[in-house]
Structure 1
């Protein structure tokens, strides 16, 4: 599995300002609806339900919200760069500006975990995150994300 399997160019976005974590979840659901045809209200509900189990802000400005979505047949992702970081109740209490959301089929097992591990491992690299933060262009971000796997594999 690699980022090309998870992302499409339409699923990468830069967002200027978000007022809250809840608003961000709505923005994620709206982006998932436009990029993949998801039902936005069901998606935001699934994201909020998962988030109620524990925050998905993993630290160092990174959040990995994820949820299981009905009628999905493969794991999909989206990436948002926030121009203005927000409080995401992250484990290190630092505001979040890099958000990689994952959506999995309701019956997904190993594929969902592989995708989460891939994204988590990649976004733990401080140099990689710096590169993302310094390229506020959605097309460049998509290229950086999708090339990351081939560079790591080499």
Structure 2
């Protein structure tokens, strides 16, 4: 979606451009950060045969070595660029029990949005990460995500969510 902000035309991505109902998972056993990333890598490769699970896993682990993608408050947004990825692809996972993700606040993680983007999509990657960070920085949204117990209900909640920072306000008309 394109939004005209004064003299600037901005590209605004909606979360349903990235996830689908079959890529929202509730109640996954976590175990560890590595196990979650490994599960996702196999899961996404099964759903998208053009992606190689080994490449996805290696790139996610390499990105985590640069610094944790645990953004705090029990949320992580692991992300990386992938060579055979044609467009941004995401999966949202709500873990059954929290796992250590080396988050910036030290809290373990139970809400994970994993994002893959094409290698050449640098600007799209940054805009998408910013949108996700704004969405998950909302305390009420995190509470509602944690209270939702089915894949369809979780997808519905995510698909109707608009990050508060993206809504018009007195400071940002």
What TM-score does the superposition give when structure 2 sets the normalisation length? 0.84
Unaligned 5+ segments in structure 1 are none
- From 93, 100, 121, give the equivalent of 1:87: 100
The DSSP-based 3-state class of the residue aligned with 2:71 is: strand
- How many angstroms apart in 1 are the aligned matches of 2:146 and 2:111? 8
Q: Which residue of 2 aligns with 1:45?
A: 58
Aligned counterpart in structure 2 of residue 34 of structure 1, from 23, 42, 46? 46
- After TM superposition, the structure 1 stretch with the greater mean CA deviation from structure 2, 48-57 or 22-31, is 22-31
Q: Aligned ranges for residues 138-153 of structure 1 at < 5 Å?
A: 138-149=151-162, 153=167
Query: Residue 134 of structure 2 is aligned with which of 116, 121, 129?
Result: 121
Unpaired runs of 5+ residues, structure 2, are 1-12, 169-173
Match of residue 21 from structure 1:
33
Root-mean-square deviation (CA), in Å?
1.6
Preserved CA contact (<8 Å) 2:76 2:109: yes
* Greater Rg over alpha carbons, structure: 2
1:89-120 deviation line (CA, Å, top 9, x unaligned): 10111010000011010111211111101111
Deviation at 1:29, TM superposition (A): 1.0
**Partner residue, 1:78:** 91
Indicate whether 1:4 and 2:16 are aligned: yes
Q: 2:115 aligns with which of 99, 102, 109?
A: 102
Q: TM-score, normalised by structure 1?
A: 0.94
Query: Which has the larger share of helix?
Result: 1
